[in-house]
Amino acid sequence: MSTTYDRAHELSHLSIHLDAQQMIERARAEGIETVWDRLRAQEPQCGYCQLGLSCRNCSMGPCRIDPFGEGPQKGVCGADGDTIVARNLGRTITGGASSHSDHGRDILEVFARVANGEASGYQIADEAKLRRIADELGLVSEGRDTNEVARDLAKELMENYGIAKNSLSFIGRVPQVRRDRWKELGITPRGIDRENVEMMHRTHMGVDNDYVNILLHALRTALSDGWGGSMIATELSDIMFGTPQPVTSEVNLGVLKLDQVNIAMHGHNPLLSDVIVAAAQDPALVELARSYGANGINVVGLCCTGNEMLMRKGVPMAGNHLMQELVMVTGALEAMVVDYQCIMPSVVDVAKCYHTQVISTSDKAKFPGATHMSFDPQRGEEIAHDIVRAAVEAFPNRNQDRVRIPVSPVRMMGGFSVEAILAALGGTAQPLIDAIAAGSIRGAVAVVGCNNPKLPQDREHIELTRTLIEHDILVLVTGCAAIANGKAGQMMPESAALAGPGLRALCEALGVPPVLHMGSCVDNSRVVQLAGALANAMGVDIDSLPLAGAAPEWYSEKAVAIGTYVVGSGITTVLGVQPPIFGSPHVVSLLADGLDAVVGAKFAVEPDPYKAALLIRRHIEAKRAALGLPFIADDQIHDDEAASRVTTTAGSARV
Ligand code: SF4
Ligand code: MSK
């Protein structure tokens, strides 16, 4: 018979947060299946696939390579393990890069409609940024009408997707020395769609069979995402919805309101969420909610649509990837409005156990069982009103006896766009460069990416980040990693108390947290942009800087694309979940070692957050030494204290 202790122990291996643990228990009690149940049902997962050694690229297969060398060493076509692993990785990166870039294209198309006066509910929110980017790209902005400049910018950026331009508009942000390196390697991205389509072509049977050649193109494909599709998504979202500025909000399931209509916006695209936030404040809809006995309409975020709303409007955040089913188990959610990416098909099944409406909005992302309300930017405002009305009308179906909102929300700060960071520093990056040069800040690390049910939810994110800031390393967060750190109370100016003395002093002087929220998954483009700006200011290449990346709990193809463009840009990155490449020692050796010689950065895999922190600290100190900055010698870097620390139970943490 399992004791309370056994149960608590088992739950703590699923998530470190109290809100998640309570809702998992409740789901079990009510017979509702969640992601953790489905993972268990899939185990043991296929060893060939885990190693990257299975291929189903054609119908002579599927084929598998025996990793022990006793069975087949070639697929039916003759492809060996190196080719198969590299092809699979190339296609994974293309899946991620295409997702980001198609998101960027959706934003661009609406931006073009705004410029042409054809969209309802949208406008240019940051005209100064529009003109700044137009000037940066050599378009004439002075003395011209806003919409004319916007039309020119839309045209310029549309050409990034095709082959006519043969380069990316934002490539000028990359230090010249790195651009030269890319050129030499033949990995300068030429066009977003071109690189993605070419990767699919190369990985067809009988095209590119050289694993090195395949992986070089994979780098180029990823770079077309980071400095292309994702950067377009970020910059145009800023122009249309406002460039984020520091803003305080709240996070965890406690942001749901017992007495209000609760609407969760889930996915990645800010196009609809922005007009929904406005519609939820419409007095007529608020009055309708009152007529049903609710005290208002409460819009909250999930995953990266949530990050977009939090960054720009301070909208509260219900949770990250692994909270999407659990938010409905509260019994307090009237509607989950989804756009695309990272939305589990299972949300429809969980919703059926409650009164929750799942409303899909993108014609390219339909969910059988959901209500589809097709998003059309020409009728953005009207559709947003229809969606909010549908949520309000679900409120009378709520069974208040089944409602249980666990925990109180935790405060977190977001809104650290590159512009906001520079503004906090007084207008230039120089104070940050000075602090790094003096050693009061050792360096900076981008901790990004998802949750993965194979790991205790958020533990790796939180423990890695906490260990880094304790050692005076500034942490930049995006995506689900940002939400994890927010829940742990590590993202308020007061959280500077958790940092080492140098980082603490800088944060206190500037009034910022030691962990800066830079936005959603596509906003990792802000991270590389900032890295490029720092490198340019110091007159070095990005790989010389004391920087690193980490994706401790990644699950998504997009995270692989992000990690790859971060490494291709010169920033060594540590993954917490093993990628499916270990079937090819050659591919592993190239990614974990050989890449360093060509792009000045590489991948490492380290699931233990304390060991990952140690690895990153050593890397940062080595970069400092190479720059001639004061550094800590390798044998002096210890982490005994952190290694013995018990896992944070952050669900009820408050700042
Ligand atoms: Fe098998 Fe080659 Fe076809 Fe892949 S491409 S399934 S290895 S025959
Ligand atoms: S939502 S890609 S689970 S970060 Fe961007 Fe989170 Fe990863 Fe999706």
3-state secondary structure 514-570: CEEEEECCCCHHHHHHHHHHHHHHHCCCHHHCCEEEEECCCCCHHHHHHHHHHHHCC
Q: Which atom of ligand 2 is nearest to the CA of 268?
A: 5
Residue of 56, 58, 202 to test ligand 1 pocket, by largest number of atoms within 8 Å of CB: 58
CA 365–ligand 1 middle distance (angstroms): 30
**Of the ligands numbered here, which is closest to the C-alpha atom of 233?**
2
Structure tokens at 393: 């009308």
- Whether the CB-CB separation of 541 and 177 falls below 8 Å is answered with yes
Residue with tokens 């009988």: 206
Query: Is there an atom of ligand 2 within 6 Å of 559 CB?
Result: yes
Residue of 63, 73, 211 to test ligand 1 pocket, by largest number of atoms within 8 Å of CB: 63
Low-confidence ranges of the chain (pLDDT < 70): 1-2, 639-655
- Nearest residue (CA) to ligand 2, atom 8: 342
> What are the Cα distances from residue 36, in Å, to 208, 379, 454, 507, 555?
38, 39, 8, 38, 14
Question: What does the pLDDT read at residue 650?
Answer: 37
CA 584–ligand 1 middle distance (angstroms): 16
- Whether the CB-CB separation of 471 and 439 falls below 8 Å is answered with no
- Judged by DSSP in three states, 13 sits in coil
CA 435–ligand 2 middle distance (angstroms): 32
Distance separating alpha carbons of residues 454 and 576, to the nearest angstrom? 11
Residue with tokens 């377009």: 232
Distance separating alpha carbons of residues 96 and 75, to the nearest angstrom? 26
Question: What does the pLDDT read at residue 651?
Answer: 34
Residue 206: how many CB atoms within 10 A of its CB? 10
Mention every residue, 6+ apart, whose C-beta is less than 8 A from residue 503: 440, 441, 469, 472, 473, 474, 496, 514
Of the candidates 341, 302, 298, the residue with the CA atom closest to the CA atom of residue 325: 302
Which residues sit with their C-beta closer than 6 Å to ligand 1?
A: 55-58, 60-63, 75-77, 79, 84, 205
Of the candidates 368, 162, 384, 394, the residue with the CA atom closest to the CA atom of residue 270: 384
Average pLDDT of the chain is 96
DSSP code for 645: P
Q: What is the end-to-end Cα distance of the chain in Å, rounded?
A: 38
- Helix/strand number for the chain, H first, E second: 28, 16
Alpha helices by DSSP H, 342-458: 347-352, 380-394, 418-424, 430-438
| pLDDT tens digits for range 355-385 | 999 999 999 999 999 999 999 988 999 999 9
Q: Which atom of ligand 1 is nearest to the CA of 84?
A: 7
Q: Which atom of ligand 2 is nearest to the CA of 558?
A: 2
Of the candidates 444, 448, 430, the residue with the CA atom closest to the CA atom of residue 474: 444
**Of the ligands numbered here, which is closest to the C-alpha atom of 48?**
1
Query: Is there an atom of ligand 2 within 6 Å of 323 CB?
Result: no
Q: Which atom of ligand 2 is nearest to the CA of 554?
A: 7
Structure tokens at 423: 């503004």
CA 53–ligand 2 middle distance (angstroms): 26
> What are the Cα distances from residue 208, in Å, to 53, 223, 450, 591?
17, 20, 31, 18
Alpha-carbon Rg of the chain, whole angstroms? Answer: 24
DSSP code for 257: -
Predicted model pTM: 0.96
| pLDDT tens digits for range 87-146 | 999 999 999 999 999 999 999 999 999 999 998 889 999 999 999 999 999 999 999 999
Distance separating alpha carbons of residues 510 and 29, to the nearest angstrom? 48
Structure tokens at 314: 């301070």
Mention every residue, 6+ apart, whose C-beta is less than 8 A from residue 37: none
- Judged by DSSP in three states, 205 sits in coil
CA 451–ligand 2 middle distance (angstroms): 7
Question: What does the pLDDT read at residue 576?
Answer: 98
CA 288–ligand 2 middle distance (angstroms): 34
Residue of 447, 450, 457 to test ligand 2 pocket, by largest number of atoms within 8 Å of CB: 450
- Judged by DSSP in three states, 301 sits in strand
Question: What does the pLDDT read at residue 8?
Answer: 85
> What are the Cα distances from residue 350, in Å, to 345, 501, 547, 580?
10, 46, 41, 30
Query: Is there an atom of ligand 2 within 6 Å of 103 CB?
Result: no
Distance separating alpha carbons of residues 358 and 349, to the nearest angstrom? 10
Q: Which atom of ligand 1 is nearest to the CA of 206?
A: 5
CA 136–ligand 2 middle distance (angstroms): 30
CA 520–ligand 2 middle distance (angstroms): 8
CA 41–ligand 1 middle distance (angstroms): 28
DSSP codes, 83-112: HHHHHHHHHHHHHHHHHHHHHHHHHHHHHH
CA 419–ligand 2 middle distance (angstroms): 23
Q: Which atom of ligand 1 is nearest to the CA of 62?
A: 6
- Whether the CB-CB separation of 521 and 479 falls below 8 Å is answered with yes
Helix (H) or strand (E) holding 277: helix 270-279
- Nearest residue (CA) to ligand 1, atom 1: 61
Q: Which atom of ligand 2 is nearest to the CA of 448?
A: 4
β-pairing, 63-64 vs 54-55, is antiparallel
Query: Is there an atom of ligand 2 within 6 Å of 343 CB?
Result: no
Structure tokens at 322: 């692994």
Query: Is there an atom of ligand 2 within 6 Å of 450 CB?
Result: yes
- Tally of CA atoms within 13 A in the half-sphere of 61 that contains its CB: 20
